Amino acid sequence: MSLQPIIRTIAQTLLAIVLSLSVCVTPRAQQPAASAASVPSIPSTGFPGLDQYRASRISIYTDDFGQLARYREADAALAPPAAGGKRVVFVGDSITDYWKLPDYFPGKPYINRGVDGQTTPEMLVRFRQDVIALHPKVVVVLAGTNDIAGVTGRTPNDDIEANYASMAELARAHGIRMVFASVLPVHNYTHDAEESFALRPRDRILALNQWLKDYCAKNGLVYLDYFSALVDERGMLKRALADDGVHPTDAGYKIMASLAQKAIENAIQKARVGNGGR
């Protein structure tokens, strides 16, 4: 009996198996490349620095938009305010985040709840956890510069103003006095400051500050005017007060601290008047 037919049959069968496996394996091998190509990207803003920064924050935008995790444990561990105490919470972006409050307000029960890179919608998400739940007497909000810059997408002033109003209404509903700080001026006196300056048109800053000032006047809130104290004769942030055109130096924070303390005292005084002097 010849073995050739048997061998030929086995060979043909093995060839068919190999070919079927290659057909099955090829799409699987190509799958990672297809998946990688389908990963969504952040739309370009036309500003390389901002594009890179936004891309670095994709996980924040998708997994913890308000960055509630940043202060969750610290908030839970914080003791209730002392009876008759004057706890103040500072809410904001990197300008607040980088501000070492104990160095500028020694002995004061002031709590920093700034988060680098945040915009007003992100602050609104965490307002209950990082402000209301801490039972402060006053909250100081410094926000808006990153909204103008488009850090979380293009945001018209109307939307920023709506977020300001929502924070004010939440604070009022919980008996917390609101201090709204003006958006700070910016400068382009250094190379590092050029993109940040271009992203923050002066007319938008001025318009937001005017809205804040009017809103505070109409609603019995305190307007904290940092802008006027920090701006130079060219309408920009004084060179000596910021190296990168946005974030204050120690000298800038000292000016801000003095103004903030007066605004806090004003807010507390208004609360006393409203409560019949109590």
The torsion angles phi and psi of 251, rounded to 5 degrees, stand at -60, -40
Q: Does the pLDDT value for residue 103 go beyond 90?
A: yes
Question: Do 236 and 185 contact (CB within 8 A), yes or no?
Answer: yes
Give pairs for 113-119: CB < 8 Å, separation 24+.
113/71, 113/89, 114/90, 114/142, 115/67, 115/70, 117/53, 117/57, 117/93, 117/146, 117/151, 118/67, 118/92, 118/93, 118/143, 118/146, 118/151, 119/93, 119/143, 119/146, 119/147, 119/151, 119/152, 119/155
Instruction: Please write the tens of the pLDDT for every residue from 57-94.
Output: 999 999 999 999 999 999 999 999 999 899 999 999 99
When the pLDDT of each residue in the chain is averaged and rounded to a whole number, the result is 88
Note whether 266 and 151 are same-domain residues: yes
Q: What pLDDT does residue 40 have? A: 62
Which pLDDT tens digit goes with each residue over 182-209? 999 999 999 999 999 999 999 999 999 9
Q: Are residues 4 and 135 in the same domain?
A: no
For position 275, what pLDDT does the model report? Answer: 57
pLDDT in tens, 207-247: 999 999 999 999 999 999 999 999 999 999 999 999 999 99
Same domain, residue pair 5 and 119? no
Asked which of 38-52, 163-177, 257-271 is least confident by mean pLDDT, the reply is 38-52
Q: DSSP assignment of 101-119, as one string? A: HHHHSTT--EEEEE-TT--
Same domain, yes or no: 124 and 22: no
Total number of domains constituting the chain:
2
On whether both 121 and 176 belong to a single domain, the answer is: yes
Per-residue pLDDT tens digits for 146-185: 999 999 999 999 999 999 999 999 999 999 999 999 999 9
Instruction: Verify that 208 and 228 share a domain, yes or no.
Output: yes
Q: What pLDDT is stored for residue 22 in this prediction?
A: 44
What's the rounded Cα separation, in Å, for the pair 189 and 191? Answer: 7
Tell me, yes or no, whether 241 and 163 share the same domain.
Answer: yes
Alpha-carbon dihedral sign for residues 101, 71, 113, 130: negative
Q: Are residues 27 and 110 in the same domain?
A: no
Range of the domain at 33: 1-39
Task: With a cut of 80, say whether residue 52 has pLDDT above it.
Answer: yes
Q: Is residue 100 located within the same domain as residue 126?
A: yes
**What pLDDT band is residue 7 in, cutting at 50, 70 and 90?**
very low
Instruction: Give the Cα separation of 133 and 92 in Å (integer).
Output: 17
Q: Which residue has the higher pLDDT, 95 or 22?
A: 95
Is 237:245 a contact under the CB 8 Å cutoff?
yes
Task: Enumerate the H helices of 84-232 as residue ranges.
Answer: 94-97, 101-104, 120-125, 127-130, 145-149, 157-173, 194-198, 202-219, 226-230
pTM for the structure as a whole? 0.84
**Residue 17 clears pLDDT 60, i.e. is over it:** no
pLDDT band for position 34 (50/70/90)?
very low
- Beta-carbon neighbour count of residue 35 at 10 Å? 9
Query: Are residue 138 and residue 269 in the same domain, yes or no?
Result: yes
pLDDT of residue 274: 61
**Confidence band for 272, pLDDT divided at 50, 70 and 90:** low
Q: Minimum mean pLDDT among 12-16, 233-237, 258-262, 273-277: which range?
A: 12-16
CA 108 to CA 86: how far, in whole Å? 8
Q: What is the CATH number of the domain that holds 80?
A: 3.40.50.1110
